[in-house]
Amino acid sequence: HSQAENIGSFQEVSGPHERAMTEFVVPRSVIDGTGEKKRLPQAADQYFSRAHHNPKSYDRIENWLPDVEQFTFKTVMVPISGAQAHAILKFRDEVKLRAAVRDQERREASTKGADDGKSKGSYKVQEESKSVADEYAEKSINSNIFLDQTYEFLMQDWARDPEVKSWRQSLEDLQNDLDKAIKIVAKEPGGSRQGAFVKLSTRSPKDASLNMTKTYDYIRARLKESKLRLTSDGKITKEIVREDLSLINEACANSLCVRSGQEALRLILESDRAHSDITANRMYLEEGERFNLKIAVREWCEEYETDWEFRLFVMDGEPTALTIYNDFFFDERIVAHKAEIEKQIMQLWERVRDRIHRKSQNYCIDFALAASLEKIFIIEVNNFVAPVAGSGLFDYHKEADRKVLRSVHVLQKGRIHPPSPNTHTHHITSHYIRCARQAVLFFFTQFQAYRCPVVHNCH
């Protein structure tokens, strides 16, 4: 496999400091994208424009929701005032500032020491003395402990400071509004809460889930239940990598299920995606316009597995490609029921396409199916295609796949599952690693301590 196609492969360690370990070697070009010969249009090139950030844009959930409302999840819209948007941006800006100052102080304090250059863990970056996991862990902005402490400090400090007290009040008001909306969409007949999912009018704060303490706690609990261990000579198996990926996905999904206004607001405050979209909305406001983004509070549905999500691409009003959403995921059940899954998706799309096509002819639409195949839902309509929209098993960097995504030939090359289990188990696609950033490798390294072959738990 070439570096452009996969982020890495298993290799035996060799050399003067040989250890009995297998390493998952990741080319640096995959992390920073320098391995691509030709620069293709990037998502940011197209996404950040007035066309995508105005109150009438079909990118926004409040504009496409009425066209699919019958087939999607219960949703309550919560407006964000200009003052609340300002407070969200100020919070994230101060967190980043304090993280940068802390990191600088730590670097200065450690200048007397010398890096021995040894690899720390079984996942490392090719031809780099410092692993990607190390680089990720060294940044305070990626530390759940730092983020928790800073959140608590700022919420108390802002309330005491007369100059910024209004920021704290704005966040508190928004938190209360979110809590009311969550009670509406998440209340079950018995009175308990099954949870809700929150997103801005444009995008969700899913990037924040990687750094939530809730995510770490979930992973630790699941690893204690795992029966998989490193081999006696300290090697990682393909089954371990598969389970690690699955645990990350499950943990992040669990963190996105919120049960209070505080949990919902915390995700938005810690999300760079939310920060970017709020900034863009303010930047593209025209004269006389007020801040107009909203937060969608959506019912959390336990009836389908998060990995059973599929994306349909439509160009010029015709379907061109169908793919599983999580391009690193493999499930034999999906392979076995490929025809039925495709049939149900196409039937539901045909029921809503006329209403959507009054607003857009080029878009992708996401579906969720219950593993029992008894229920199907529409998750969302994205009024854009690749590269702004993730392309799943279609690699946007390959010319042949780009032609499939943009050509009208009615799903002649649909891919709703990986070609085989192995290709998406120990080889992770470059698309995924760029979405999850270095956090994936950081978690991989942390996992090893829980898979000690001698003691059931090293921690």
Is the pLDDT at 268 greater than 80, yes or no?
yes
**Confidence at residue 14, expressed as pLDDT on a 0 to 100 scale:** 46
CA distances from 140 to 143, 158, 211, 264, 448 (A): 5, 21, 11, 22, 22
- Asked if residues 272 and 203 have their Cβ atoms less than 8 Å apart, the reply is no
Which of 78-92, 349-363, 428-442 is predicted with the least confidence, judged by mean pLDDT? 428-442
pLDDT band at 416 (very low <50, low <70, confident <90, very high): low
387: preceding bond cis by omega (within 30 degrees): yes
- Asked if residues 134 and 120 have their Cβ atoms less than 8 Å apart, the reply is yes
**Confidence at residue 36, expressed as pLDDT on a 0 to 100 scale:** 47
**Confidence at residue 187, expressed as pLDDT on a 0 to 100 scale:** 73
Percent of the chain beyond pLDDT 90?
Answer: 47
Three-state DSSP at 336 gives helix
* Over residues 244-248, mean pLDDT: 82
Q: Which amino acid is at 248?
A: I
Is the pLDDT at 28 greater than 90, yes or no?
no
What does DSSP assign to residue 41? P
What does DSSP assign to residue 81? -
Q: Higher confidence at residue 65 or residue 394?
A: 65
pLDDT band at 4 (very low <50, low <70, confident <90, very high): very low
Q: Which amino acid is at 215?
A: T
Cα distance between residue 441 and residue 434, in whole Å? 11
Digit-coded pLDDT (tens) for 145-192: 999 999 999 999 999 999 999 999 999 999 999 999 999 998 755 545
Is the pLDDT at 56 greater than 90, yes or no?
yes
* Over residues 66-92, mean pLDDT: 97
Burial of 368 (0-12, 13-18, 19+ CB in 10 A): buried
Please state, as a whole number, how many other Cβ atoms lie within 10 Å of the Cβ of residue 437: 15
CA distances from 245 to 238, 411, 458 (A): 11, 29, 21
- Strand-strand pairing, 123-125 and 22-26: parallel
Cα distance between residue 200 and residue 80, in whole Å? 9
Summary mean pLDDT of the chain: 79
Digit-coded pLDDT (tens) for 341-379: 999 999 999 999 999 999 999 999 999 999 999 999 999
What DSSP assignment string belongs to 248-317? HHHHHHHHH-B-SHHHHHHHHHT-HHHHHHHHHHHHTPPTT-----EEEEEEPPTTS-TT-EEEEEEETT
pLDDT band at 126 (very low <50, low <70, confident <90, very high): very low
Digit-coded pLDDT (tens) for 203-224: 999 999 989 999 989 988 888 8
**Confidence at residue 304, expressed as pLDDT on a 0 to 100 scale:** 81
Digit-coded pLDDT (tens) for 326-340: 877 778 888 889 889
**Confidence at residue 373, expressed as pLDDT on a 0 to 100 scale:** 94
Alpha helices (H) along 5-139: 28-32, 43-47, 61-68, 82-109, 132-138
**Confidence at residue 70, expressed as pLDDT on a 0 to 100 scale:** 96
Q: Higher confidence at residue 97 or residue 321?
A: 97
Cα distance between residue 455 and residue 209, in whole Å? 30
Identify which of 4-8, 27-31, 244-248, 249-253 has the greatest average pLDDT.
249-253
CA distances from 49 to 46, 85, 247, 279 (A): 7, 19, 36, 12
